[in-house]
Structure 1
Amino acid sequence: MIENLYKIPNHVAIIMDGNGRWAKRRGLQRIEGHREGTKAVERTIKFARNVGIKYLTLFAFSTENWQRPPEEVNAIMSLLVEYINQKIPLLIENDVRLLFMGRKEKLWDSVLKAMEKGENETARCKSMTTIITLNYSGRAEIVDTVNKILKSGKKEITEEEFKKFMYRPEIPEPDLLIRTSGEKRISNFLLWQLAYTELYFTDTLWPDFDEDEFLKALYDYQSRERRFGKVLDE
Structure 2
Amino acid sequence: MGFSQDNLKGFVLALSSSAFVGASFIIKKKGLRRAAAASGVRAGVGGFSYLLEPLWWLGMITMIVGEVANFVAYAFAPAVLVTPLGALSIIVSAVLAHFILNEKLHQLGILGCVMCIAGSIVIVIHAPQESPITSVQEIWSMATQPAFLLYVGSVIVLVFIMIFHFAPQCGHSNVLVFTGICSFMGSLSVMSVKAVGTALKLTFEGNNQLLYPETWFFVFIVATCVITQMNYLNKEAVTINIPLTYKKLLR
TM-score range, shorter chain: under 0.3
Q: Answer 1 or 2: which has greater strand percent.
A: 1
Taking structure 1 as the reference length, what is the TM-score of the superposition?
0.28
Taking structure 2 as the reference length, what is the TM-score of the superposition?
0.27
Q: Answer 1 or 2: which has greater helix percent.
A: 2
- Relative CO higher for 1 or 2, CA cutoff 8 Å, sep ≥ 6? 1
